[in-house]
């Protein structure tokens, strides 16, 4: 279950920020700022739109309860805390769903490891970028391949590892925040991130046909 922060007054009414006339309610403001990203995270974790919609709704439902019970002053710190809380709950719900349904967690991403198709090969041939044009180091084809490898590596990892990796590496949560979200110590969070990175590298290299450097 979710931990509520110790030392915070609990009330039945809405958060204090919601009582200030003219101020946008905290949860609504955080949703407007981070809702799309939160959904993207859930969608990436679950691999399909239907489940992602369910978990997104459940997360928001719980957030309504939480903000009613946990008054937070209007501040940047409160916004960050609220954002962290949303990702934390979404993580729990997503992992719980994946565990209970006992299915391949990231089948959508696993599918990306299919052999290259004729269509992909054809796209790869269209790599005629003149040298004088400012050009990212990664070509279109390389980017395509890299994205496929990333998703294939995620598909081979444990969902909890993918979650930690996404939260820290892609969504920018610090180790301290990951520790808070996963209810563990700072050192344990560092260990989880390290383990997730190692697993990612192992599967990524395996998918790419490279030797593991361990």
**Positions 10 through 29 that interact with another protein (CB under 8 A):** 12-14, 18-19, 21, 25-28
CB 189 within 8 Å of CB 175: yes
Q: Per CB under 8 A, does 129 bind another protein?
A: yes
Q: How far is the CB of 72 from another protein (least distance, A)?
A: 12
Cβ closest to another protein, residue 7 vs residue 136:
136
153 Cβ contact partners less than 8 Å away, ≥ 6 residues apart:
200, 203, 204, 207
Q: How far is the CB of 73 from another protein (least distance, A)?
A: 15
Spatial distance between the Cα atoms of 187 and 152, rounded to a whole number of angstroms: 28
Spatial distance between the Cα atoms of 214 and 206, rounded to a whole number of angstroms: 12
DSSP at 112: G
Q: How far is the CB of 7 from another protein (least distance, A)?
A: 21
Q: 146 to 205, contacts with another protein by CB under 8 A?
A: 146-150, 165-166, 169-170, 172, 174-175, 187, 190-191, 193-198, 200-202, 204-205
Tell the burial category of 1 from Cβ atoms under 10 Å away from its Cβ (0-12, 13-18, 19+): exposed
Which of 195, 4, 149 has the alpha carbon at shortest distance from 89? 4
Per-residue tokens: 26: 């905290």
Cβ closest to another protein, residue 3 vs residue 12:
12
Cβ closest to another protein, residue 5 vs residue 116:
116
User: Binder to another protein among 6, 9, 10, 118 (CB under 8 A)?
Assistant: 118
CB 123 within 8 Å of CB 143: no
Q: How far is the CB of 177 from another protein (least distance, A)?
A: 11
Q: 40 to 79, contacts with another protein by CB under 8 A?
A: 40, 43-44, 47-58, 60-62, 64-65, 67-68, 76, 79
């Amino acid at each position: 279950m979710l931990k509520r922060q110790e030392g915070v007054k609990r009330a039945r009414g809405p958060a204090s920020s919601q009582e200030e006339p003219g101020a946008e309610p905290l949860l609504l403001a955080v949703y407007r700022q981070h809702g799309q990203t939160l959904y993207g995270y859930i969608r990436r974790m679950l691999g399909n739109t239907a489940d992602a919609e369910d978990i997104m709704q459940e997360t928001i439902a719980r957030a309504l309860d939480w903000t009613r019970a946990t008054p937070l002053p209007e501040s940047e710190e409160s916004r960050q805390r609220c954002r962290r809380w949303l990702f934390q709950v979404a993580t729990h719900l997503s992992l719980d769903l994946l565990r209970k349904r006992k299915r391949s967690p990231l089948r959508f991403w696993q599918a990306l490891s299919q052999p290259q198709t004729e269509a992909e090969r054809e796209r790869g041939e269209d790599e005629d970028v003149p040298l004088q044009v400012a050009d990212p180091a990664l070509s279109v084809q390389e980017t395509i391949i890299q994205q496929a490898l990333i998703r294939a590596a995620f598909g081979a990892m444990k969902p909890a590892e993918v979650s930690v990796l996404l939260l820290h590496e892609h969504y920018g949560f610090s180790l301290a925040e990951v520790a808070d979200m996963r209810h563990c110590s700072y050192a344990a969070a560092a260990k989880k991130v390290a383990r997730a990175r190692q697993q990612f590298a192992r599967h990524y290299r395996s998918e790419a046909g490279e030797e593991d450097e361990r």
